[in-house]
Amino acid sequence: MKIALVSPYDFAYPGGVVNHISCLERQLTMLGHQVRIIAPASKAVYTYGERFIHIGTPRPVPASGSIARVTVSVRLASQIHAAFDREQFDICHLHEPLMPTLCTTTLRLKRVPMVGTFHACGGKPWYNFSTPLGVMYLKRWFKKLDGHIAVSPVARQFIQSYFPAGYEIIPNGIDASHFSPDAPPLEEFDDGKLNILFVGRMEKRKGVNYLLEAYNILKRKLPETRLIIVGPGLRLRRKYQKYVDDNGLRDVAFVGYANYADLPRYYAVADIACFPATNSESFGIVLLEAMASGKSIVATDIEGYAGVITPGDEGLLVPPRDAATLASSLITLLQDEPLRRRMGAAGRQKALQYDWCHVAQRVLNHYNRVLDGNLLDERQLECAVP
């Protein structure tokens, strides 16, 4: 099968949707399909060679408490036509298909059957502010989709409120051989201290400020601990560093961006992975990374995370924006190594269910139903949640 995977987001910048598409492309290619990624890029993306088709220059646009790096050009039609004429795709899979302008222009110029995956949950999507004329066009483009996928029940509920349809739930995947308990730990942090690891972008909704407050509490009780913060973002990092300095906090390491190849080594050196996001998480791929790495987790009890973790089995869930409870839960796990090991082992077993070899096959099954004109109805799709 010849497949186009379309990303509205800058493919040279890390993010959940970009990582999802990258892993899906890798797995579909391994299965013998011809796959092309179509996306804007702020710099050359050499890894994919001819498998990457660069269309559009991304610009940072505020969206749902984050920054979406998308192309806003309205002059993409000729490049899209040329790509589809040259490649002769059998199917096109758009991720966040209503995000301007690459995805919406591809929908407008529809040449082949089209599937859309909706990743987002919560916040205020750009179409919430559209003019009546804009909404009319969005609905027209939405109707061009032949298949509809949501990555979680909460993501489906969110998009359903704007664009009702029969959505199949196909979750994010994980490369369970890449994120593995066997990954070698980073020597610089492997010194006997208890390591708490955060992985994510430096954005307000990720809750790093609450994690720092919790760490300030627990550090007084457990001085032989360290907080490792991995993820890009300079503006809030400066603010967080000021908090660390003002409070005389020791053993806080701001690592910055870590590439995909190095991430397993950060998980390997962690004793606990902590994800204190406040909202707008439809799934939480970082939870799966930590679980696949055999690590216990403390995370906030928001819908996207609660759909992945069973409290008490793979980790602990705490109320969002509650630094005191977050600190208490971290202390509980830091003081109980057998519990951490049990949770890590349970998390590894659950993560294997989300390995890309399983998830990609479900995506292929969806493609085939679209091509056969035989999509399941919404009642049947309810049973498709893992």
Q: Would 182 be classed as within a structural domain?
A: no
Residue 312 pLDDT exceeds 50: yes
Tokens of 45: 């993306």
In this structure, are 271 and 282 located in the same domain?
A: yes
Average pLDDT over residues 150-176: 92
Average pLDDT over residues 196-212: 94
Q: How many CA atoms lie within 13 A of 275 on its CB side?
A: 32
In this structure, are 261 and 122 located in the same domain?
A: no
pLDDT band per the 50, 70, 90 thresholds, residue 280: confident
Whole-number Cα distances in Å, 241 to 83, 204, 222, 251, 326? 46, 14, 21, 12, 20
DSSP-assigned states of every residue in 28-41: HHHTT-EEEEEE--
In this structure, are 87 and 156 located in the same domain?
A: yes
Residue 381 pLDDT exceeds 50: no
Of 272, 345, 284, 292, nearest to 178 by C-alpha is 292
Give the residue ranges of DSSP H helices in 222-298.
235-246, 263-269, 285-292
The pLDDT value recorded for residue 122 is 63
In this structure, are 245 and 160 located in the same domain?
A: no
Query: Residue 332: is the preceding peptide bond cis (ω within 30°)?
Result: no
Quickly count: other Cβ atoms within 10 Å of residue 117's Cβ.
26
Of 57, 37, 34, nearest to 47 by C-alpha is 37
Q: What is the DSSP letter of 351?
A: H
Check if the beta carbon of residue 174 is closer than 8 Å to that of residue 285: yes
Share of the chain above pLDDT 70, in %: 92
Mean pLDDT for the chain?
A: 91
159 residue type, one letter: I
Check if the beta carbon of residue 298 is closer than 8 Å to that of residue 329: yes
User: Tens of pLDDT along 235-248?
Assistant: 889 999 999 999 99
* Rounded CA separation 269/41 (Å): 32
Check if the beta carbon of residue 128 is closer than 8 Å to that of residue 105: no
In this structure, are 314 and 211 located in the same domain?
A: yes
In this structure, are 271 and 374 located in the same domain?
A: no
Residue 386 pLDDT exceeds 70: no
In this structure, are 166 and 227 located in the same domain?
A: no
Share of the chain above pLDDT 90, in %: 75
pTM for the model stands at 0.86
The number of folded domains in the chain is 2
* Rounded CA separation 286/274 (Å): 10
In this structure, are 327 and 361 located in the same domain?
A: no
66 residue type, one letter: S
* Domain coverage including residue 238: 187-352
